[in-house]
Amino acid sequence: MQLTKTEEQLMQFLWKAEKAFMKDLLDAFPDPKPASTTVATMLKRMTDKGFVGYTEYGKSREYYPAVPKSDYFSKQVNGMIKSFFNNSASQFASFFTKETDMTATELEELRKIIDSEIQKKKQ
């Protein structure tokens, strides 16, 4: 399942806060803030999609992420690799390293991460 850009923005606030009431989430938006009914509708949709859960306290609901941020972004990146790079991680890596403005230091850090993952896979 996908989130819209606005839903993703709301999830970013929720991942950061870990738990929040609707008022807290509304306050996290920059001005001009969306209407509270808009945020309530998004939370309902995101709950229906399985991204958000909540605990009720009387008439109030405290929302929390039902999907870890790392799981969501992993799925998004894998979907992008499948859609745009013929399901080839090496094509994605080639594009990523050539088309971004990575410094030599950042590329060295990336090499260390890759080398570390290679060692883990060999064990």
Average pLDDT over residues 102-112: 90
Residues 48 and 91 in one domain: no
**Predicted structure pTM score:** 0.74
Exposed/middle/buried for 20, CB within 10 Å: 0-12, 13-18, 19+? buried
**How large is the angle between the packed helices 69-84 and 89-99, nearest 10 degrees?**
90
CATH code: domain of residue 27: 1.10.10.10
Residue 58 confidence (pLDDT): 94
Residues 83 and 35 in one domain: no
Residues 61 and 79 in one domain: no
Tokens standing for residue 66: 């039902």
Sign of dihedral through CA atoms 20, 22, 23, 24? Answer: positive
Single residue among 26, 41, 65 that ends a domain in this structure: 65
Tally of domains in the chain: 2
Residues 54 and 98 in one domain: no
Residues 47 and 9 in one domain: yes
Instruction: Quick: pLDDT tens for 23-66.
Output: 999 999 999 999 999 999 999 999 999 999 999 999 999 999 99
- Beta partners for 100? none
Query: What residue numbers bound the domain in which 109 lies?
Result: 69-122
Residues 34 and 58 in one domain: yes
Residues 59 and 73 in one domain: no
Single residue among 18, 41, 65 that ends a domain in this structure: 65
Residues 17 and 52 in one domain: yes
